[in-house]
Structure 1
């Protein structure tokens, strides 16, 4: 796989430009053994061979979208300074870039005001959101769908908040009737609504949950770590489109720029619509907040030291790709969605496969057809291995067997869960690579059919 190298020349020019900004200082160069450094780095490069080819379109497994070259270069450029976005004196320029970038993300959701910041990833961003939720409704239960990310249950355990799981409907979305039955018990303070789930990409029914909020008075937290940017896409289904159109009405949102936002790891973002929640972060640290009367990001964050480079990379990317419908960035998302629909159609119209779910976003799940779910699981594992031998890198996912049975009544559900094939088509180039991917899947299926 060829590695993109033109960015090295651009980065060299940018480093020279950065150096020009500090001409007033006396000359100084950090000394190090350049020969040993080169030898060590070449060893690192060789060690890195032991990876899947994440940037290549034939990697279509987990949620590993390559960062854009401009984000990678901006991140690297910032490490020459190595700013810390906790206090302004540790990251003056990068803190300003973070505030500007976070405001653009909030604007993407239609928020005129907000309180928020970047985090090391979606887990910590969700932790902050649920921590604030518990401060507002102390001791009340937090619920999320059974297809929501496991981090919510784990976070509630860490924070010692009661947690319950809500069953899903036939489309793997939160079951609104089951939710209302739980709400009638009167102990739920926050409902986590997932847009979309990291397993199958399902988008929970936000319109109906907002209606329930009017009746029962709970907070709504949106976990859009993976799917948040899809609010810019124009080719979603009706239910998903309606859900995204109502994000301006919720209490808090988490989104991960290091998923669909073209950023290197780790870059998450948490947003609150009510700026008054900043009072829960209040603390006194006189040795960090001395350089400015402006708001320091560490005053509205549970994290202390954070890489300012993440903010620099995000700011650079947003300069190139504004968050607007019909723009280049949004068009890339639409290609991902279209790629998923094309692959789903190929699978759904081939009687060798079981396709239990029409994709809401860009994740497709399927399984080789068999009489029982246990046999489907066996064949899925085999197909996964055979595809990898042909340099098509997919993933597997454990899907509830009763949902398989619901979609395909002729299948005997002899296991609680069924191992399915799973593909995250998160690269715009995947639209052009669906045919090569399908060709390999076709070969693999023919092979395992005679085993």
Structure 2
């Protein structure tokens, strides 16, 4: 596919060159010239430097949330970057702005918002969540923002940035929010995470909706990591209960640069009620004059944004529609199958123990030949280091409170406050075929 993408990119750039020359002949200023020899030398050194990365592209890498962009996406991004459009005002990138509106509409429809919504792409999920929490503050001034103890740290951090009081809600053993621990009269917005970044846990939106509606509390869904799993909501691979309720939320965040096959950075934020656009209203002395249509900068906290991100996502969605049986659905299904297969292999293993059954595509596990939490932590770290040292596998580590660990695995003794376990993120569909080999390699180090 890389070869195919390169060929498509070359042809696309050739067509763009004809368009560039249609405005009249011109020459690049001599101050911008770089000799062929210098360019070759620099890119030769650059290729060597880039080889110092971990093999994020290969199924042997099951560490952090790093999914290689699809060749269609990076080729489209590179093609757009030869123009370098800015999706702030329409005159900064009319075609890429229209493509952004188109892909955001597809995302809104995907999540059940229909034709009435407000949204745009962002540089990241952090910025997308910042905007969602900013709207939460503006919509319910003086009220707190609540989120679970499993939520991403960005919510607490962004509340600090926004000078908004926040409250962290404990998660009970049945995985429900401990809503009795908070005063609903003081809460303006509650965050529900569909796909935590730790172990891919899906929080109980079903429980929160009636409570939030009863007390007039807004719901924000952080689906930055898990959002594309909605393609499987009607399949037998996941429990679709929470995913089928997403349209009930007031706002949703999803990161196409995670499971959406996009280069960094491409996040997005969606609002169910387009009236929240009033909070973005501002004046600019030199933008928004080329068209009476909505400029994306008028509904964004960010100003300059890469139009190439919208172009890449648009091209990707042309090839991979947001459907269960076509496009993203089969891709997400393979990731889910990889996690289920890995979990099953570890259940049968005499050297590894799965921490809990995965809800999405992230598996936590630990060496079985231990008696205490401190021994588990030490051996997990040794395995983690050994795999990277001989480049046979790349994992990540995850810290769990020992009290929670012992609740699930009472046969072990807690002699430390926290226990460190191994963690694998199966983001690449190729890992469905590779996971057995990966488990074998891990076991060989125990």
- Corresponding residue for residue 286 of structure 2: 287
Aligned counterpart in structure 2 of residue 62 of structure 1, from 43, 47, 64: 64
What is the TM-score normalised by the length of structure 1?
0.94
- Corresponding residue for residue 437 of structure 1: 438
The answer as to whether partners of 1:395 and 1:423 remain within 8 angstroms in 2 is: yes
**Structure 1: gaps of 5 or more residues:** 446-451
The answer as to whether partners of 2:352 and 2:443 remain within 8 angstroms in 1 is: no
Rounded Cα–Cα distance in structure 1 between residues aligned with 2:309 and 2:407: 44
- Corresponding residue for residue 179 of structure 1: 179
- Corresponding residue for residue 448 of structure 1: none
SS at match of 1:411: coil
- Corresponding residue for residue 194 of structure 2: 195
Matching of residue 331 in structure 1 with residue 324 in structure 2: no
Rounded Cα–Cα distance in structure 2 between residues aligned with 1:373 and 1:29: 67
- Corresponding residue for residue 14 of structure 2: 16
RMSD over aligned Cα, in angstroms?
A: 1.4
| Post-superposition CA distance 1:242-262 (Å, at most 9, x none) | 000000111000000000000
Rounded Cα–Cα distance in structure 2 between residues aligned with 1:124 and 1:45: 31
Matching of residue 360 in structure 1 with residue 362 in structure 2: no
Offset at 1:29?
Answer: 3.8
Q: 1:344 to 1:169 in 2, by over 3 A?
A: farther
Aligned counterpart in structure 2 of residue 140 of structure 1, from 143, 151, 162: 143
| Post-superposition CA distance 1:358-415 (Å, at most 9, x none) | 1110000011132111111001001111222242011001112222111111111222
- Corresponding residue for residue 374 of structure 1: 374
Rounded Cα–Cα distance in structure 2 between residues aligned with 1:182 and 1:111: 29
Aligned length: 437
| Post-superposition CA distance 1:318-353 (Å, at most 9, x none) | 011111121132111011001101101111233433
Q: How does 1:89-104 map to 2 (within 5 A)?
A: 89-104=91-106
Query: Structure 1 residues 398-407 or 419-428, which shifts more?
Result: 398-407
Offset at 1:216?
Answer: 1.9
- Corresponding residue for residue 41 of structure 2: 39
Offset at 1:62?
Answer: 0.4
The answer as to whether partners of 2:169 and 2:181 remain within 8 angstroms in 1 is: no
Q: How does 1:375-414 map to 2 (within 5 A)?
A: 375-388=375-388, 389-414=390-415
The answer as to whether partners of 2:124 and 2:265 remain within 8 angstroms in 1 is: yes
Rounded Cα–Cα distance in structure 2 between residues aligned with 1:8 and 1:194: 38
Rounded Cα–Cα distance in structure 1 between residues aligned with 2:360 and 2:332: 9
- Corresponding residue for residue 250 of structure 2: 251
Aligned counterpart in structure 2 of residue 25 of structure 1, from 17, 23, 26: 23
- Corresponding residue for residue 161 of structure 1: 164
Q: 1:356 to 1:169 in 2, by over 3 A?
A: farther
Rounded Cα–Cα distance in structure 2 between residues aligned with 1:222 and 1:134: 15
SS at match of 1:257: coil
**Structure 2: gaps of 5 or more residues:** none
- Corresponding residue for residue 342 of structure 1: 341
The answer as to whether partners of 1:235 and 1:334 remain within 8 angstroms in 2 is: no
The answer as to whether partners of 1:183 and 1:216 remain within 8 angstroms in 2 is: no
SS at match of 1:246: helix
The answer as to whether partners of 2:319 and 2:327 remain within 8 angstroms in 1 is: no
- Corresponding residue for residue 429 of structure 2: 428
What is the TM-score normalised by the length of structure 2?
0.95
Offset at 1:153?
Answer: 0.5
Rounded Cα–Cα distance in structure 2 between residues aligned with 1:354 and 1:148: 25
The answer as to whether partners of 1:59 and 1:393 remain within 8 angstroms in 2 is: yes
The answer as to whether partners of 2:351 and 2:443 remain within 8 angstroms in 1 is: no
| Post-superposition CA distance 1:57-101 (Å, at most 9, x none) | 001110000000000000000011100000000011000000000
